[in-house]
Amino acid sequence: MSTLTISDKERFLINQEGQDFSHEAKTFIKIRELALKNLKDLDFPTKKLENWKYTNLRGISKIEFRPQSAINIIAEKVKAHKIPNLDAYTLVFVNGFFSPEFSDTAEEKDGKFVVTNLNTAKRKFIKFVEPYLGFQTRAKDQFFVNLNSAFSQDGAFVYVKAQQKLDKPVHIINLVDGDLVAAYPRNLIVAEKLSEAQVVVSYETIDTASALSNVINEVFVAEGAHVQMDKIQNENKNTTHISADYAVQHKDSTFTINTIPANGKLIRNNLSILLDGTGCTANLNGAICLNGDIHVDNQTYVNHAQPNCDSNELYKAVVNDQAASIFNGKIYVNKIAQQTNAFQSNANILMSNDAKANSKPQLEIYADDVKCSHGCTIGQFDDEALFYLRARGIKESTAKKVLLEAFIGEVLDKIKIEAVRDYASALITKNFNSKN
């Protein structure tokens, strides 16, 4: 008599089941069905894969993470995770589920813009959702992308009509509350021709419980449109956060994304940008300040598919204790993408002997009329600058703080919304002060 056994992956997927998606339109059900089909042939990524060689997911599949709706969450807990002094449309999600009582949706007259949750948009604004949702995320070989596509509960929907501008930013707050929670937020941002939008996405935890946050952000930037997205990751030391950000840009558009991984256990950010029109500009920035044993892995891919486009990447990391920072960035220039300007820079400061930083900037170029560069640095403090400050009577801890804030400040200055910039700066300063 034989005993039937199932793999860790199969057990993990079984734990994600039980949600009812039958009310969705056929288009969206097909996305889930395709993702489930892909998952049958995939497994959790291992360090044997080149893009995962520095990040170990061992053990995650053995933890019984499950989708859980929030129970008895109170307003004070939500308020504590709002960004001070930020005037914005606010969308709150707890464990991946929409919380309308804490949210501020907007459906502007004449359809100038829509700010609501994705499940509502699937019903009321399907013509704005259907052409875009899942368009970028049908990769058969991406385990966590397919995991989100199969089990996402809800997310934010931001739509800006052609030639319109959001009158204030949208703040998407993702909270995790409870133990062994699996949350699958999915956000869709669509900016039509010549429109403008600012979106802030923050990730926070209410308690110290263990959780898995698996996120997808899909962004579509039409001709001449401008979109800025600020991501702040401030989860607890027991949370694994794996996100995939996709952006498609069309002629003369600009997309800027600023990523601030402040706290967590393991953070993996996958960022993919397609420059699919002439005259596009993409700006990718990251400010990383780590202590304890937090592990942050930033993966970027910029595809210059059309001529006359610019991309700029600036990632800076300060790493202390046993923390680790990884940057793996690739710029791809298609053979028709002449007159491309693409620049990539990654700088790291190690604060302790046990801190780690791994950097792998890459260029893959098939056009001959281009200006492309990449570079990375990994080192200690600038001894001359430290000596200069110490010689003027500034104590060592203060001098280090000044130098570190100046180092990271170059990235923080890319955040245009003052309240968001101040909030991100405060989180980083807190990390500085915890060790100095």
d(Cα 148, Cα 186) in Å, to the nearest integer? Answer: 8
388, amino acid identity: Y
Contact, 291 vs 435, CB < 8 A? Answer: yes
Mean of per-residue pLDDT scores for the chain: 92
DSSP letter, residue 15 = H
What confidence score (pLDDT) does residue 109 get?
A: 61
DSSP letter, residue 238 = T
d(Cα 119, Cα 354) in Å, to the nearest integer? Answer: 45
What confidence score (pLDDT) does residue 3 get?
A: 47
3-state DSSP of 153-197: CCCEEEEECCCCECCCCEEEEEEECCCCEEECCEEEEEECCCCEE
Farthest CA pair distance, the chain:
81
d(Cα 199, Cα 247) in Å, to the nearest integer? Answer: 13
User: Both tokens of residue 216?
Assistant: 């997808």
pLDDT in tens, 160-216: 999 999 999 999 999 999 899 999 999 999 999 999 999 999 999 987 789 999 999
pLDDT in tens, 253-304: 999 999 999 999 999 999 999 999 999 999 999 999 999 999 999 999 999 9
d(Cα 226, Cα 228) in Å, to the nearest integer? Answer: 7
Give the residue ranges of the chain where pLDDT is below 70: 1-5, 71, 109-110, 382-388, 390, 434-436
User: Both tokens of residue 324?
Assistant: 């680790």
